[in-house]
Structures are given as C-alpha cells and as structure tokens.
C-alpha cells in the first residue's frame, strides 16, 4: 500500500458496520460515530494479485474510552523511558481502572492481572460469535481489552479452526484457531514491558498470573458455549459435547 495511511470506502463501510454489530452482540469494542466519503482517489490491490484499481477514499470517526494499547507501553520500555512509562501507567490506571489505588505498591501487578483476565474474556467472546481479528499484534491489543482495530477481519460462515480473514497472512499466524495463543503472546510482551517497574516478588507473581491465562480463557469459552447450547449446570461431559459439535460443523 506504499504506507499512505488511507482507507477506502469499501473497507470503511465494513469497519463501521462490524464495530456496531459487535457492540450490539455485547462484545467490548470501539464504536463508529460517522463515515465521511473523501474526494481523494486511493489505489489498492484488493486481492493482492497485482490488479491495482482506483477506489474512493473514506474516513471513519471511531470512538473509544481509550486508545492505549500494549504497544504503547512496549515502545517506552524498549527505549528505556521508564519514568514516562510509569507516568503513563499511573494515568491509565487512574482514568480507567478505578478499583486500583494509585498508592498501592502492587498497582502494576493488579493492572496486569486485570488485563490478562479481560483479554481472555474478549477473545472467548470473539470465538463465541466466530469473529477472527486479522492483525492481532501488540499495537492492536487494547489495554482496556476492547476490540479497537477493524482492518482485516472476518466471521466464519461455518466452523473452521484454520479460517484466516487476512489475505496477506500467508502463514496463518492469526487464524481463528490461534487467536487465544496470540493473546498469550501479546500478554507476555506486556509482562516484559512491565518487568522494569516490578520488584522480584512482583515479577514472580506476574508470571504466575500469566500462566493462569489459558485456564481463564478455557473457563470463559466453555461458559459461553454452554449458554449457546442451552446447557444447564456444569457437567464434565460438556466440553466433550462442545468439541464434538464443532467437529461435526467442520465436517459439514
């Protein structure tokens, strides 16, 4: 795309509609406030096959409580700007994590624990509606655990763990069956960014919190699919039934 930073009308319409659909499906997300068509022409290779065409440009106004991402902290840690990173973290906690006291020496640990838990919840919600995020890098993962990027994305028509919504993702890194693992990868990057601000005890506890991510995701995923299937209570065979039905869907 030659890094022009522009959007076309086609993708902007999809972004507007999808973010609103996700909101009404009860999935934490940014919202679309307006869509404005631009007079500028934008050149795009829509199917990455060398067939470049002129398209109409557009601008989507998106709204969210915050646009801070894992990458916002990662870049400061990487450049060694720890004082600025600490100030930014305290601001984020004060503005968006009211249950965490700023005078608590473990505030960064509690912040990390909350982000781990809420990220597991967000990805389980994505999976419950067959939504696949096409570019799950650390710069597209919100610290408030909301869906903030609607570049390449897609909904599965039928269950396929290898479904990839991004035509440029040749290796299938962000296939829907790998989204939970990518969440873990990104949270590990967040932990690495936070480590310079943690003491040895806090680092150990943070590692234990991260180890619990998989279980948190698994529990939430199971809860959501039990609800979808109308299962009452908690039976040890529920997970087998869920896996069996997904497999049947794949075969169909």
Instruction: Give the residue numbers annotated as catalytic, written as ranges.
Output: 139
DSSP state of 151: S
What is the DSSP code string of 31-94? EEEEEEEEEEEEEE-TTSSS--EEEEEEEEEEE-S---BHHHHHHHHHTT-HHHHHHHHHHHHH
Q: CB count, 10 Å around CB of 116? A: 24
- Sheet of 53-63: strands edge to edge? 7-8, 53-63, 31-44
CA-wise closest residue to 2 among 58, 53, 42: 42
CA-wise closest residue to 68 among 86, 91, 35, 84: 91
């Amino acid at each position: 795309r030659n890094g022009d930073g522009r959007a076309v009308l086609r993708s902007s319409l999809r972004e507007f509609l999808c973010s609103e659909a996700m909101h009404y499906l009860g999935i934490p997300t940014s919202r679309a406030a307006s869509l404005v068509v631009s007079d500028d022409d934008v050149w795009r290779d829509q199917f990455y096959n060398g067939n470049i065409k002129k398209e109409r440009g557009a601008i989507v106004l998106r709204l969210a409580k915050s646009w801070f991402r894992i990458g916002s902290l990662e870049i400061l840690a990487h450049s060694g700007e720890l004082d600025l990173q600490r100030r930014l973290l305290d601001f984020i906690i004060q503005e968006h994590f009211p249950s965490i006291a700023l005078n608590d020496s473990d505030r960064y640990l509690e912040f990390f624990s909350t982000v781990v838990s809420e990220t597991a919840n967000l990805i389980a919600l994505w999976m419950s509606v067959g939504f696949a995020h096409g570019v799950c890098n650390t710069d597209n993962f919100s610290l408030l655990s909301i869906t903030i990027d609607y570049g390449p994305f897609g909904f599965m028509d039928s269950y396929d763990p290898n479904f990839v919504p991004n035509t440029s993702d040749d290796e299938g890194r962000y296939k829907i069956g790998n989204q939970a693992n990518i969440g873990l990868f990104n949270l590990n990057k967040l932990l690495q960014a936070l480590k310079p601000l943690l003491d040895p005890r806090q680092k150990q506890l943070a590692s234990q919190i991260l180890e619990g991510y998989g279980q948190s995701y698994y529990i939430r995923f199971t809860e959501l699919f039990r609800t979808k299937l109308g299962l009452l209570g908690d039976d040890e065979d529920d997970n087998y039934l869920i896996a069996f039905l997904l497999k049947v869907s794949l075969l169909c």
